[in-house]
Each structure stands twice: as C-alpha cells, then as structure tokens.
Amino acid sequence: MDNYFPSLNKFLTSKIGAFFIILPFVKPAPELTGSFDVIFDIWKLFAASLILVGCIRTLHKASHILYWIAGLQVVMLLSTIIHNADFKAAIVQVVSVISICIYFDYFIRTDPNRAISTLMLPLIFMSIMTAISMFVFYPEGMYVVGDELSGEVVKNNFLWGFDNSSIFNFIPGMYLLGLYALIENNKIIYRKTIFVLLFISLAFLYVFSITAFIGCFSILLAFVFILVIKKKANLLTTKNLIILAVVLSLVLLIFNDRLSILMEFSKLTDKFYSIKARFIIWDCVINWWKKSPLIGYGIEDKLLIIGKLNLDHPHNYFMDVLYRSGLIGIVVVVVLFYKLISGKWSDSHINAFSAVAFFVLLVIAQFDFYNDHYMFYPIMIVVMYSKNLVITKTNKSELDNLQIYESSK
C-alpha cells in the first residue's frame, strides 16, 4: 500500500473513521434536520477533504468503475452550470459521490475483507436504529401517502427522517453484512446475520412500506438461498442480473400503461396513487428531456423540479440520469454497467450473493431513487471488488466444495 499519510490512512480504515465518513451520507431527511441540514453538507465536504488527502496518490490503482462514476457526476455538474441550476447542491453531490466512492475503492483495494467488516458497521447501525424507531414510534417514522383522489402526502410525521426511499441506506448495509457473514463462514455469524436482516425487513412490513420490505426481504432470501445452494448458483451472475434489471426498466418505461397486474396489486396494498404517480412523472420526464436531449437539466432546486414534474424527483434511476444528464449521461451509465459485467468472475457463493444484492438495489431504483442517494454508487465499487473477496474461516473440504478460484486465494 502507498502509505503517504500513515496516521490519516490508519484513521480512514478504522471503525471510528468509517463511522465519521459514512454517517453524514445516511443522515435524517431535511424535513427533520431543517436549518441544521447544512451541517451535514459541511461534514461531507470535510470528510471529502480527508479522503482526497489520504487516498488521492493511489488513484492510479483504482478500479475503472470509479472514473466512470465520477464522469457521470461531472456531466451533471456541467449541465447544472449550463442551465444555471442549483450549483451549490450540484457541488455537494459531485464532491460527495466522488469522495465516498474513492473511499470505498481505497479501503477495499487496500484490505478487502477488513473493509467489508468495517464499512458495514455504520450502515447496519443506522438501519437497526431506524427499524427500532418504526416498531416503537409507528407511524411517526414514515410518510403517510393519501389515495388517488386526494393525493395528499403528510410530511410532518418524521422521527428518524426515513421513509421507504431510504432503502438505499439499508440495502447497502444488509448487503455488506451478508458478504461479511459469507466471508467469515461461521454458523453463529450466519444466525446473527439472518436475525438482523429479518428484523429490518419486518420493520418495513410493520409500517407497510411495500417497496422497502420487498427490497430488504429479498436480500434476506438471497442470503439464505446462497447458503443453501452455494456453488450451484451459476446463473446468478452480475452480467445476467444487470441485463435483467435493465430489461425490467424498459418494460416499466415503455409498457407502464399496460401493466394492469401491477396496478391491481397497488390497489390491494393501498398504493395506487403512489404507483400511478410514478407512471405520470416518467411521462413528464420524457417530455422535458426532449427539450434538452443531450445534457438534461442538471441538479435543480426542489421547488423548480416540483413545478416541472409535480414531484421532487423522477422516482427512477435511469429516468433520473436521463433528466439530469441527458443522452450523454445514459451513455456513461451504459459504459459503467459494461465495465461492471466485463472481466473474469468466479462462480463462488460470495459473487452470487453480491450479484443478487446489486440486482435488488437496481430493481428498487426503478421505483424509488433520489438523486442524493449517495450510497447507491459505492455499491458498484463493492460489486467490482467482490470477485477478490476470500473466505477467512473455513476448512479445506469446504474450500474444495466451494471451488474458490486460485486468483482469489
């Protein structure tokens, strides 16, 4: 490791350092923090300065994924400048996304197994705290969405400031916890992991957040499934599941007015207004995109985008990229996904779980994606490096059965 700043490097790869770096990215929503929200922005920028000082000299060793993620953020920044949009918000986003991805890349590249066990701690901590708040203070911790007639959304009932869209704070934590358990290969850790994943999933079911529950519970099922079948999960590859997620996105965007099954399900779960609003907003995004097809509109003030789309974000990752960075941004995402699925991958259960967890995140991103979900991007870094993760506590017969690649020993 190129250790130019030993004290800072040691801090960044410590448990305390991980909490300091990650917590401002999984903060409560602005509706709860109010005028104090600027403190978290300052915190992110200060954390970014530490990351850049500690890690910048090793960037030549970083994954190519990192540069494409940074490229997408730069396109959004340029679009923001051209359209005279919210430059301050764009700077916070660009610096935040790039710095947190540099941090994940540096830590995992330096010590992949320890990085997973350390990075998961603040994410799981916030997930558990939010889950507890849901059980104890329901419904104060969630949005209450009205029906399709009133269209009312009650926003004064925050506790932790998390709603179902904060799935992007929970899935990364659950994903890393699952990877940690698989790496350690310990029955006690397996049981604890299943308990934690089930607890968080039930919390979302308790407040009837269907999207969030399905997302979290899918991670739990994937973890148990991979434990059972292990090396037989040959079809569960990053390539196959990314392609499947993209196909799902195209179906939603092109045939949304024909998805009667989805609409009937939304009525049964009292989510008709929520689902219908998403289909309407995607049509609005397409109409606005046609007016600025190449570079989109960048990062806009909430009131401005609400005036254009009737909601404060497109509620879909690919539509978000299209709206904010146009066709250029979509091209960058296509290359980014290509980089993710290229190269040689092992068929071990660690990589299968990694692929499934990322697939779950991509699927949820078709329904709930805020542009400032910073933890969405570092997961791409984790997926890229997951092929190098190795089991640290196992016996020879288990290693033989799992057929770990020689390159990952």
Q: Does the reported pTM lie above 0.85?
A: yes
Q: How confident is the model at residue 258 (pLDDT cuts 50, 70, 90)?
A: low
Least confident interval from 60-64, 120-124, 245-249, 392-396: 392-396
| DSSP 8-state symbol, 153 | E
385 or 35, which is more confident: 385
Q: Tell me the three state secondary structure of residue 23.
A: helix
Report yes or no: 61 and 55 within 8 Å, Cβ to Cβ: no
Q: How confident is the model at residue 92 (pLDDT cuts 50, 70, 90)?
A: very high
Is the confidence at residue 377, as pLDDT, over 90? yes
Is the confidence at residue 409, as pLDDT, over 50? no
User: Which residues contact residue 287 at a Cβ distance below 8 angstroms, ignoring those fewer than 6 apart?
Assistant: none
Report yes or no: 289 and 322 within 8 Å, Cβ to Cβ: yes
User: Distance between CA atoms of 25 and 93, rounded to whole angstroms?
Assistant: 10
Nearest to 190 by CA among 167, 164, 223: 223
Helix and strand totals (H; E) in the chain? 18, 2
Report yes or no: 162 and 150 within 8 Å, Cβ to Cβ: no
Per residue in 263-295, pLDDT tens? 665 555 555 566 777 777 888 898 999 999 999
Q: Tell me the three state secondary structure of residue 145.
A: strand
Per residue in 102-133, pLDDT tens? 999 999 998 999 999 999 999 999 888 888 88
83 or 368, which is more confident: 83
Q: How confident is the model at residue 4 (pLDDT cuts 50, 70, 90)?
A: low
Angle between helices 167-184 and 187-206 in degrees, nearest 10: 160
Report yes or no: 160 and 128 within 8 Å, Cβ to Cβ: no
Residue 154 forms beta bridges with which residues? Answer: 144
Is the confidence at residue 376, as pLDDT, over 60? yes
Report yes or no: 283 and 319 within 8 Å, Cβ to Cβ: no
User: Distance between CA atoms of 5 and 273, rounded to whole angstroms?
Assistant: 53
Q: C-alpha distances in angstroms, 333 versus 29, 39, 68, 194, 207?
A: 27, 31, 8, 33, 34
Q: How confident is the model at residue 14 (pLDDT cuts 50, 70, 90)?
A: very high
pLDDT of residue 1: 45
Is the confidence at residue 395, as pLDDT, over 90? no
Q: C-alpha distances in angstroms, 183 versus 116, 350, 395, 399, 404?
A: 9, 7, 13, 12, 12
Q: Which region, left, alpha or beta, applies to residue 220 given φ > 0 means left and ψ of -120 to 50 means alpha?
A: alpha
* Element spanning 98, H or E: helix 87-110
Report yes or no: 85 and 371 within 8 Å, Cβ to Cβ: no
pLDDT of residue 167: 80
Per residue in 318-357, pLDDT tens? 999 999 999 999 999 999 999 998 877 776 888 899 999 9
Report yes or no: 342 and 286 within 8 Å, Cβ to Cβ: no
Per residue in 139-163, pLDDT tens? 666 655 544 455 555 555 555 556 5
User: Which residues contact residue 76 at a Cβ distance below 8 angstroms, ignoring those fewer than 6 apart?
Assistant: 90, 93, 94, 296, 298, 299, 324, 325, 329
Is the confidence at residue 403, as pLDDT, over 50? no
The structure tokens 């996904």 sit at 337
Report yes or no: 386 and 179 within 8 Å, Cβ to Cβ: yes
Residue 153 forms beta bridges with which residues? Answer: 145
pLDDT of residue 91: 94
